[in-house]
Amino acid sequence: QKEVEQNSGPLSVPEGAIASLNCTYSDRVSQSFFWYRQYSGKSPELIMSIYSNGDKEDGRFTAQLNKASQYVSLLIRDSQPSDSATYLCAVKPSGMRFGAGTRLTVKP
Amino acid sequence: ETGVTQSPTHLIKTRGQQVTLRCSSQSGHNTVSWYQQALGQGPQFIFQYYREEENGRGNFPPRFSGLQFPNYSSELNVNALELDDSALYLCASSQIGHGDIGYTFGSGTRLTVV
């Protein structure tokens, strides 16, 4: 079982729609959870972090965490073409472990 | 405030050779981690250094080794290069002790082994 699993996609949504990205993790001792965005040919950049069960909102982004289900998600509201990228879920037991990423395409 | 810088940006090596990649942490960060990212894959954790000591390691063989220096800069050394070592190598820095703020990544070193 992989430490962090994501649907590789690609996920395609129309401009203005909600994009929903999901992630599960295997290590129950994980305490910190992150979403990174990676544009093609670039390095990952942090967009959200979450540490407690529930929702955390930051602008158009909402991260959701359910530790009992070992599940993290990211919602992107009012998706824009500039949101087209690979989204990486990361968890931190010791050292940050990444999923394979979900490629999101937002079509104008 | 400077970000994370890596050198070189690109490198071509021959199978069996050794390579050293370098990373300067973001100002104020005391932790550095190294990742290998193959094309189309997520970053794979190699190891992490805190206060010049390795304090976490992923599933990589011993021929992958590292150092962290007193100024928090770091090196990744790979011996006996194999073709499968061709990848983007990412360095990321963070600050332990001031909450969990996530990692800041450098632009990476693209290593090609031929």
Which helix (H) or strand (E) segment is B31 a member of? strand B31-37
Asked if B3 reaches chain A (Cβ–Cβ under 8 Å), the answer is: no
Q: Is A46 close to B33, i.e. CB distance below 8 A?
A: no
**What was the pLDDT predicted at A53?**
94
Given A45, A95, A101, which is nearest B58 (Cβ)? Answer: A95
- Give the confidence band of B30 by pLDDT, cuts at 50, 70, 90: confident
Cis peptide before B8 (omega within 30 of 0): yes
E strands along chain A, which residues? 4-6, 11-14, 19-25, 32-38, 45-50, 54-58, 61-66, 71-76, 85-92, 97-98, 102-107
Per-residue exposure over A44-74, b if at least 16 CB sit within 10 Å of its own CB, e if not: bebbbbbeeeeeeeeeebbbbbeeeebebbb
Give the nearest partner residue to A98 out of B42, B100, B106, using CB atoms: B42
Q: Name the residue of chain B whose CA is nearest to A101's CA.
A: B42
Could you read off the pLDDT of A69-96 as tens digits, one per residue? 999 999 999 999 999 999 999 998 777 8
- Residues 61-80 on B with a CB inside 8 Å of A are none
Return the closest-CA partner of residue B26 out of B88, B107, B87: B107
> Would residue B101 be called left, alpha or beta, if left means φ above 0 and alpha means ψ between -120 and 50 degrees?
alpha
Give residue B98's pLDDT.
Answer: 55
Task: Please say whether the dihedral angle defined by the alpha carbons of residues A96, A97, A100 and A106, taken in this order, is positive or negative.
Answer: negative
- Given the structure tokens 């199978």, which residue do they identify? B15
What does the pLDDT look like over B81-99, one tens digit per residue?
999 999 999 999 988 765 5
Residue B43 with chain A: CB contacts under 8 Å: 44, 88, 98
- Rounded CA Rg of chain A: 13
Q: Kind of pairing, strands B5-7 and B10-13? A: unpaired
Q: Which residues touch A57 (CB under 8 Å, ≥6 apart)?
A: none
Structure tokens at A33: 């959870």
Q: What is the pLDDT of residue A27?
A: 85
The residue of chain A nearest to residue B45, with distances taken between CA atoms, is A97
B37 or A3, which is more confident? B37
On whether any CB of chain A is under 8 Å from the CB of B49, the answer is: no
Q: Verify whether the Cβ–Cβ distance B35 to A101 is below 8 Å.
A: no
Q: Using the beta-carbon criterion (under 8 Å), do B102 and A34 form an inter-chain contact?
A: yes
What are the distances in angstroms from CA A20 to CA A48, A65, B40?
14, 13, 20
Per CB-CB distance under 8 Å, the chain A contacts of B35 are 98
Sequence length of chain A is 108
